[in-house]
Amino acid sequence: MCDEMLRGLGKWLRIAGYDTAIAEPGSADRQILEMAAKEQRLLITRDRDLARQRLARGRVLLLSEQGMAAWAAELKRKLGIDWLYRPFSRCLLCNCPLCPGPGPLASLLPEHIVRDPDACWHCPTCMKPYWAGSHVRRMRNRLRRWAMNDSDAKV
């Protein structure tokens, strides 16, 4: 689970295929910690005050680095996150596992993609379609860099 400040990192964890909750905007610390406990999630945060609370004991990873590439390296080092775990298997908006095929919003997709049902997926909750286009290639390249990067190099 990522707190609101780490929403971007949470989306990248979903893109890599990890089951990731993201705290709702404006959630109180207590709500966030209770949700993490109830769903048995590890909370990732940069908020020292949040990490210091009694409810946080044993359930919080406090990130010390700055910036996405450094956090990616920190998660790989501390939690063994594999950035190529199951790329593009979850909706980055809802965290739901994706279903094969274009789904009900097929009309938004390029025609040659819709004709090849193996090249597209959709979210069963928000219906957002995903397909193997150039944006997916770019994201995959970024995951590949993070997966191979053994140092804390700022990329």
Tell me if 109 contacts Zn ion by CB under 5 A.
Answer: no
Task: Please state the closest distance from residue 136 (CB atom) to Zn ion, in A.
Answer: 16
- Of 80 and 104, nearer to Zn ion (C-beta) is 104
Burial of 57-86, coded b for 16+ CB within 10 Å and e otherwise, reads: eebbeebebeebbbbbbbbbeeeebebeee
- Is residue 93 part of the contact set for Zn ion (CB under 5 A)? yes
Site mask for Zn ion (CB under 5 A), range 34-73, x = bound:
----------------------------------------
- Candidate list 6, 13, 56, 123; residue touching Zn ion; CB under 5 A: 123
Q: How far is the CB of 100 from Zn ion (least distance, A)?
A: 15
The span from the CA of 25 to the CA of 12, in Å, is 18
Binding residues for Zn ion (CB under 5 A): 91, 93-94, 123, 125-126, 128
